[in-house]
Structure 1
Amino acid sequence: MLNIFVENEIRLDQFLKWSRTVSTGGQSKYLILNNKVKVNGVLENHRSRKLKHGDKVEIENMGSFRVVANREGS
């Protein structure tokens, strides 16, 4: 599982681009709406799903990622 560092919360579709899993928003939308993405083990089909520190994102045939919040001063 690869840790992906983000600032606070991030939307699922943005996370897929941020993690360099996809290169466009259209690709994010396709994966999410075609049941290729799980968040914390549950299929997720809402692009606007807010991810927070500790969430696990699995993308079919692409890998698993953990959301890690960059917390300045922590």
Structure 2
Amino acid sequence: MNGPNRYRLIVVSLEQAKAAAFHATQRLKEALTRRKLRFSSNCQNGSGSHFQRDIFFEKPRSKNDWLDLISSWSPSPSTG
């Protein structure tokens, strides 16, 4: 196979791969958009099966609250 034909085969394959990648990217973006819409419709206050206030119910914590919480997770030092 001579140079120009080999180049054409490579370019055609490359263009096909680009088109396939673009198509896959579009499908992923559409799927992500659908998931975002579904999630936002389920998390609106007062509608859907899950309420935003139920998902994000935790009260804000102070720095000392976080330190106390983290220290409660740590294993106690052995008393010997």
TM-score under structure 1 length normalisation? 0.20
Compare CA radii of gyration and give the structure with the larger one: 2
Q: Of Structure 1 and Structure 2, which has the larger fraction of its residues in helix? A: 2
TM-score under structure 2 length normalisation? 0.19
Q: Greater RCO between the two (CA within 8 Å, min separation 6)?
A: 1
